[in-house]
Structure 1
Amino acid sequence: MTVRSDTSFRSAVSTDAPLKPGFADPVFDSQAVFRDLLVATAYPGRIVSLDRKLTAPRPFSSATAALCLSLMDFETPAWLDTGLDNNELTAWLRFHCSLPLTKTAANARFAIVSDPANLPPLQAFHQGDVEYPDRSTTLIIQVPSLADGPAMTWMGPGINGSIKVGIAGLPPQFWTDWDLNRELYPRGIDVFFTSGNDLIGLPRTIKVEA
């Protein structure tokens, strides 16, 4: 890894607490997690257990940290909710991902939420452009459970008929916002829910009903 000399990087790594490690083998471990991510995207609603586990900086779960290490780099500005605004975590992200952070949700390629009850409206994030719908924000939401929440019916590509999914901890307006997000297709955001070392993918093409 090439060490940058800019002030933000020096500030990020100069914390009192030692940084938590990243992947033992950054190339192969990130590839393994990315393969799991593709499975979660191809089969929305399916709980996918990652075969790599991390001791993540609080309050990240292992799956949240693994997604950051696999997806993010110096070209992907990220937005963090207020629960993630701590020196240890931001130093870890900058050191392992060279990750630029933004205070404006609409400017983020990735947004990471650890307090889903206070999740901003989905429309606050970048919805992509007509010419480049893939440039929308990808949202990673860390939740208490992927199975113990209200059962919702998911339908769409990658699902054989329908599937019941019980994401816990989401605010009441989330699924109303999701309906509006689907109407923007091919624009719109994609979501990954994480809990522990597991994740579920929710692409913008999926219809969700109570």
Structure 2
Amino acid sequence: MTPADDIAHDDLEAGQALDGGFADPARDAARAFRAVLDAMARPGTTVTLDAARGPAPLSPAAAAVLLTLVDRTTPLHLAGAHDNPAVRAWVAFHCGAPLVAAADAAFALGTWAALVPADRFAIGTPEYPDRSATLIVDDPAEGAPCTLSGPGIRGTAQALLPDPAAFAANHARFPLGWDAILTRGRTLAAVPRSTALRETEVC
């Protein structure tokens, strides 16, 4: 690269870092917060978040979750391809979250393949079960069909999960355990630790 090319590249990265936030921060953040709360309160329910965007491979839904839930008081771990200069710059500008190792994270972002083993994330303690991590699984890959039950679910619900055994083991530790937000494109669903699951039999 020539010096001019370096400057152009730096300007492009800076522009990407400034781009993609909420167009109407107060209203968009409030709508996104309600959508995330609805997903957490009703596990398996799919909601749409399309008010934000970020650098690849960050999905619009994951970008909206970060803008809504992550700030300078919430340590964030970036895993795999999501840990790249453009995403780091975008997080620094829009969220201000400190980037940390997995064990110290309040939130973690990546594909499931990049986040495992999930046991390296905080699951809380008997005295403080809320001191646990939330995994933002930003993965376009399909998962295994599972039947969900538990708080917030009338009867049962259906969801595609990347590793049912890991989610079942996480639920077995309740009230300890991590919570998961599954983002794909402009949609998200949540599976908190209180949710029981079993793989759905396919006929």
Q: TM-score range by the shorter chain?
A: 0.7 to 0.9
Structure 2 residue 130 is matched with structure 1 residue 134? yes
Q: Choose the corresponding residue for 2:58, options 52, 57, 60.
A: 60
Structure 2 residue 105 is matched with structure 1 residue 108? yes
Higher gyration radius (CA): 2
- Aligned pairs (5 A) from 1:4-43: 16-17=12-13, 18=15, 19=17, 20-43=19-42
The amino acid that maps onto 1:106 is A
State the distance in 2 between where 1:49 and 1:88 align. Answer: 24
Which residue of the partner structure matches residue 155 of structure 2? 161
State the distance in 2 between where 1:97 and 1:55 align. Answer: 13
Which residue of the partner structure matches residue 79 of structure 1? 77
Which residue of the partner structure matches residue 178 of structure 1? 167
State the distance in 1 between where 2:88 and 2:28 align. Answer: 21
Unaligned segments of structure 2, at least 5 residues? 1-9
Which residue of the partner structure matches residue 94 of structure 2? 96
Normalised by the length of structure 1, the TM-score is 0.83
User: Which stretch of structure 1 is more off in the superposition, 18-27 or 37-46?
Assistant: 18-27
Which residue of the partner structure matches residue 6 of structure 2? none
Structure 2 residue 168 is matched with structure 1 residue 194? no
Structure 1 segments (4+ residues) deviating >6 Å: none
Deviation at 1:16, TM superposition (A): 4.4
Taking a change above 3 Å as real, the CA distance of residues 150 and 178 of structure 1, as seen in their structure-2 partners, is closer
The amino acid that maps onto 1:122 is A
Deviation at 1:15, TM superposition (A): 6.0
The amino acid that maps onto 2:20 is P
Normalised by the length of structure 2, the TM-score is 0.86
**Cα RMSD over matched residues?**
1.6
The amino acid that maps onto 1:184 is R
Richer in helix (by share): 2
What SS class does the counterpart of residue 152 from structure 1 fall into? strand
